[in-house]
Amino acid sequence: MELARNIKWVTAAIALAAVVLFCGGVAISEEKPKPVQVFILAGQSNMEGKGAVNTLDHIGDDAEHGHLLAKIKNEDGSWVVRDDVFIDYLGRSGPLTVGYGSKGGPHGGKIGPELGFGVVVGDAIEAPVLLIKTAWGGKDVAKDFLPPSLGGPGEFWTKMMDNVQRVLGNIDSVVPDYNNRGYEIAGFVWFQGWNDMVNKEKTARYSYRFIHFIDDLRNELGIENLPVVIGELGVDGDKAKGGVARFREAQKMAASIDRFRGNVRYVETAAYWDWEADKMFRDGVWKKEEEKAKYYRIASDRPYHYLGSGKIYFLMGHAFGEGMKRLVTQQ
């Protein structure tokens, strides 16, 4: 594949650690800039991101995680704009900040897992970081993202790979001061499942299909043990049952095979479910004119979109980042 050849060429080009210059008989060692670390974030609507930006302040109410709000919000109330992490989400690109979730909505923009993920990897990695987010709502692995080795590629497998190639082919337009420093694809994050979960046959075959998905992805990118994070379908938290519970088992199974040990990580998200927002939704507060402002302070959508809670999306993304960091550093 052309993409694999391009990646191998870039990897070879950045292998030289230093250039030695001789000026007046004195050897000067000039370290080559570290290559951009690229992470691909892919999936369906919950990777797109349905968390309303105005609900992010609710992170500060959390006894355990409240301190993380300072990672994304300045003391003057403005949102942090990273100068070391950049993102392209289907053509929308720039420094990482709020607003790189789904378009639209009356509550000041949206976020997905990219914000929390970017905070973790940006803080952990000295080199510039580029997030390539490639996600579309309502898609499954059974057909839309079907990997090539199982009769695909599905339409959105092809779109995913085309989007990655588009961004990498124009990386200097997304990463400021790129100056041909090179790049390395450092990891892949997958957050998807609803459209496979709702069908028992799809759930039963999900592990098999997603194992092939990972193998084909690595083959197409030319990276044998590319680190992969699989985000748990965390809807309904620790009270999930039926299809959601079955699907989680399928996700775990895909991540647990021997050859994925140490390079694929299943990251749980159920712990981040917001039971306050859940109760308000189920009590119909979001429908009551005199009370709906209480709901829209902390949530904005239905349960299958994690209640549109910026807090949930940020914490899930943060967990994905911690999982990826462990894969990359083998801790």
Q: Are 288 and 295 in contact (CB under 8 A)?
A: no
Residue recorded with tokens 């499942």: 193
Confidence bin at 330 (pLDDT 50/70/90): confident
Work out whether strand 228-231 and strand 264-267 pair parallel, antiparallel, or are unpaired.
Answer: parallel
In a domain, 214, yes or no: yes
In a domain, 168, yes or no: yes
CATH of the domain at 183: 3.40.50.1110
* Segment 148-198, tens digit of pLDDT: 999 999 999 999 999 999 999 999 999 999 999 999 999 999 999 999 999
In a domain, 14, yes or no: no
C-alpha dist (Å) from residue 115 to 39, 40, 49, 73, 74 = 13, 13, 10, 12, 15
In a domain, 218, yes or no: yes
Mean pLDDT for the stretch of residues 98-114: 85
* Segment 220-247, tens digit of pLDDT: 999 999 999 999 999 999 999 999 999 9
Work out whether strand 110-111 and strand 92-95 pair parallel, antiparallel, or are unpaired.
Answer: unpaired
16 or 166, which is more confident? 166
User: Residue 103 sits in which domain range?
Assistant: 34-329
Average pLDDT, the chain: 91
In a domain, 109, yes or no: yes
Q: What is the domain count for the chain?
A: 1
Q: For the chain, give the percent of residues with pLDDT over 90.
A: 87
In a domain, 103, yes or no: yes
In a domain, 47, yes or no: yes
In a domain, 2, yes or no: no
* Segment 261-317, tens digit of pLDDT: 999 999 999 999 999 999 999 999 999 999 999 999 999 999 999 999 999 999 999
Q: What pLDDT is stored for residue 277 in this prediction? A: 96
